């Protein structure tokens, strides 16, 4: 007999700020939650102190199981949510596949990517990596304007779960929703994932815009043209244009570009204030996905023959080939065009 959909067990692979935030959210809603932390010492510390440090100090409920054993984390689970960084997704998925296949069970868990990024080199979306590495599992993606600090504070937000199998997305919709976390279903994983990836790149530009004190007009112009770039790339790869006007497109873009709750915004802001990228990332203490995404997106745009001028200037600035002020002037100096 199928278990109550509201009480299905959830395993979260990744004990960073977003993984632990999701654990808090779903545990609070009555779901059995296990969090996998690949570092044994880190798992022991979290289990002992029951305290997450980022995005801010917050208590981890006693019901949340924390383990450094991947086999333990994946045992008897219905749903596996990947909340790792994008460049470690393949390794974690490969290790997970070995555990899942070794179990010999025909009832394999559904896999959900809560990671926003593209794999460097292949430019694959995270759900594509999961589908390629872990056979025989349903795959979906979760994305939206979900700043971890606000979710932890109990502030309301919405998100989107997307799968090419819309019936799966509809099923996950009820499993992942919580009282102040409203989840919508979509059949456009391409749009959902690319929106979540490119907005991090635009957020770096938005942070630089504010760091240079360029004003509201400039930032509004930047976000609008940034959304146009996101849409141009996503539609070229098969996304629905309307997805980019939704939660995982415009919604996530505006949230991530709004201020310092976003790590990517902080990268751009501090770059504009003259701080070195290496020092910014060291002080963040966690991955700013817009940094590797800028490189991956520009590689992808070149392969497709698309112009993404904002992404290109962000990449140039991150590589030290330009300055934030120089990048803004380069964008303003481009040939005039129709909107």
* Cα–Cα distance for residue pair 166/145, rounded to 1 Å: 21
Nearest to 117 by CA among 222, 199, 231: 199
pLDDT, tens only, 188-247? 999 999 999 999 999 999 999 999 999 999 999 999 999 999 999 999 999 999 999 999
Q: Is 50 exceeded by the pLDDT of residue 294?
A: yes
CA dihedral of residues 188, 189, 192, 197 (deg, nearest 10):
-150
Nearest to 15 by CA among 29, 34, 1, 30: 34
Residues above pLDDT 70, as percent of the chain: 98
Half-sphere exposure of 9 (CA within 13 A, CB side): 13
Query: Measured in whole angstroms, how far is the alpha carbon of residue 53 from the centre of its chain?
Result: 19
DSSP assignments along 32-49, one per residue: -EEEE-S-HHHHHHHHHH
Q: Are the CB atoms for 161 and 186 separated by under 8 Å?
A: yes
Q: Are the CB atoms for 258 and 265 separated by under 8 Å?
A: yes
For residue 36, give Cα distances in angstroms to 94, 163, 290: 15, 24, 24
Share the mean pLDDT of the chain: 94
Q: What confidence category does residue 2 fall into, taking pLDDT thresholds of 50, 70 and 90? A: very low
Q: Is 90 exceeded by the pLDDT of residue 185?
A: yes
pLDDT, tens only, 85-125? 999 999 999 999 999 988 777 789 999 999 999 999 999 99
Annotation marks residue 219 as catalytic: no
* Cα–Cα distance for residue pair 233/243, rounded to 1 Å: 13
| Catalytic residue, candidates 199, 240, 302, 319 | 199
Q: Is 70 exceeded by the pLDDT of residue 5?
A: no
Q: How many CB atoms lie within 10 A of CB 280?
A: 19
Residues 73-82, mean pLDDT to the nearest whole number: 94
pLDDT, tens only, 321-336? 999 999 999 998 988 8
Q: Is 60 exceeded by the pLDDT of residue 283?
A: yes
pLDDT, tens only, 123-144? 999 999 999 999 889 999 999 9
Q: What confidence category does residue 338 fall into, taking pLDDT thresholds of 50, 70 and 90? A: confident
Does the model's pTM come out above 0.75? yes
154: left (phi over 0), alpha (psi -120 to 50) or beta: left
Query: Strands, DSSP E only, in the chain?
Result: 10-13, 33-36, 51-52, 58-59, 65-67, 79-82, 110-113, 139-143, 157-162, 181-186
The residue that leads in pLDDT, 106 or 165, is 165
Q: Are the CB atoms for 161 and 112 separated by under 8 Å?
A: yes
Angle (CA) 64 76 103, round 5°: 135
């Amino acid at each position: 007999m199928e278990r109550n959909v509201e009480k299905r067990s959830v395993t979260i692979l990744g004990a960073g700020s977003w993984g632990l935030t999701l654990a808090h959210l779903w545990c609070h809603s009555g779901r059995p939650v296990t969090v996998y932390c690949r570092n044994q010492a880190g798992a022991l510390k979290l289990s002992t102190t029951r305290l997450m440090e980022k995005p801010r100090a917050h208590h981890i409920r006693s019901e949340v199981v924390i383990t450094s054993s991947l086999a333990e984390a994946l045992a008897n689970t219905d749903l596996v949510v990947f909340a790792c960084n994008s460049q470690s997704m393949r390794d974690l998925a490969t290790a997970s596949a070995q555990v899942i296949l070794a179990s010999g069970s025909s009832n394999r868990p559904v896999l959900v990517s809560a990671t926003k990024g593209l794999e460097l080199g292949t430019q694959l979306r995270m759900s594509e990596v999961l589908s390629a590495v872990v056979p025989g599992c349903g795959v979906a993606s979760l994305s939206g304007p979900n700043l971890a600090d606000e979710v932890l504070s109990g502030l309301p937000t919405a998100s989107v779960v997307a799968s090419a199998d819309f019936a799966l997305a509809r099923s996950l919709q009820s499993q992942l929703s919580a009282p102040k976390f409203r989840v919508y279903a979509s059949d456009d994983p391409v749009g959902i994932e690319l929106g979540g990836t490119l907005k991090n790149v635009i957020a770096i530009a938005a942070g630089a815009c504010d760091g240079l004190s360029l004003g509201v007009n400039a930032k509004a112009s930047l976000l609008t043209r940034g959304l146009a770039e996101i849409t141009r790339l996503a539609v070229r790869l098969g996304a629905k244009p309307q997805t980019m006007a939704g939660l995982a497109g415009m919604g996530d873009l505006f949230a991530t570009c709004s201020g310092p709750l976003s790590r990517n915004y902080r990268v751009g802001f501090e770059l504009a204030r003259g701080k070195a990228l290496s020092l910014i990332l060291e002080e963040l203490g966690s991955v700013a996905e817009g940094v590797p995404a800028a490189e991956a997106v520009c590689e992808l745009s070149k392969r497709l023959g698309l112009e993404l001028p904002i992404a290109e200037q962000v990449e140039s600035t991150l590589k030290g080939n330009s300055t934030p002020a120089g990048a803004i002037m380069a964008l303003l100096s481009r040939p005039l065009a129709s909107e």
